[in-house]
Amino acid sequence: MKSVLTHLLTFLSLLGFASCEPAAQTGPAPAEVKLKSDFNDKEGVPEGYKMITLGGGCYWCVEAVFQQLEGVHSVVAGFTGGHVADPTYEEVCGKKTGHIEVVRVVYNPEVLSLGDALAWFWAAHDPTTLNRQGNDVGPQYASAIFYHEDENKAVVEASLQNAQKEFDKPIVTQVRKAEKFYLAPEEHQDYYFQNKSQGYCQYVIKPKLEKLKLKK
């Protein structure tokens, strides 16, 4: 009986991989990862660099992908698109704030074009599932692109139309003008590289990075 109970407890402990929930950090961030506090007014963004804000399910997954792309200056996790000011993570998880989990990416357009960045975005998640990525379900996990410059709207829409050719089902990704961005808690930043041994990282994020042939 003790053996059965032990196995059961071990199994239950692994269920953490099924949902986007924080765990204690266990290691340092890689040297190449640069984190900023906020980008609401482009403060701290190098001259000539651009921003794009992306929602593709749990922000830990999208963050771990874009942190590794050449030409990306910084990636931060946060919330946007809702009607509640200064939301907490718990409030967003309550599904009544209207906010979406996103990453705000600052990139050098001379190294990484917006079109190429969006190509990675389409590959990094399933844009045909409404408010869901795997076991992460709710409006906070919506697929969304928030563009920051009006001239980039056409690039985003063209990218979406081109990506649709790769999917049998209709893409449900929202395309919206960037709104006020709220930074996620510090323990949610650079989550994968700080918590590689955590269940969600091992069973959800790591396979995604392997599929995309990125560092894991």
pLDDT at 117 over 50: yes
Q: Is 75 helix (H, G, I), strand (E, B) or coil?
A: strand
Of the candidates 42, 114, 36, 40, the one whose C-alpha atom is nearest the C-alpha of residue 76 is 36
Tokens of 68: 């590794």
Angle at 34 between CA 28 and CA 36, to 5 degrees: 110
pLDDT tens digits along 186-201? 999 999 999 999 999 9
* 98-131 exposure pattern, b = at least 16 Cβ within 10 A, e = fewer: bbbbbbbbbbeeeebebebbbebbbebbbbebeb
Backbone angles phi, psi at 143, to 5 degrees: -85, 125
pLDDT digits (tens, 9 = 90+) for 138-176: 999 999 999 999 999 999 999 999 999 999 999 999 999
pLDDT in tens, 72-109: 999 999 999 999 999 999 999 999 999 999 999 999 99
Positions annotated as catalytic residues are 58
Pairing of strands 72-80, 100-107: antiparallel
pLDDT at res. 216: 78
pTM, two decimal places? 0.84
C-alpha–C-alpha distance, residues 103 and 85, integer Å: 18
Query: At the top level of CATH, which class does the domain 35-211 belong to?
Result: alpha beta
Asked whether the predicted pLDDT for residue 1 surpasses 70, the reply is: no
Domain boundaries defined on the chain: 35-211
Look at strands 72-80 and 181-183 and give their pairing.
antiparallel
Residues 6+ apart with CB under 8 A from 95: 138, 139, 140
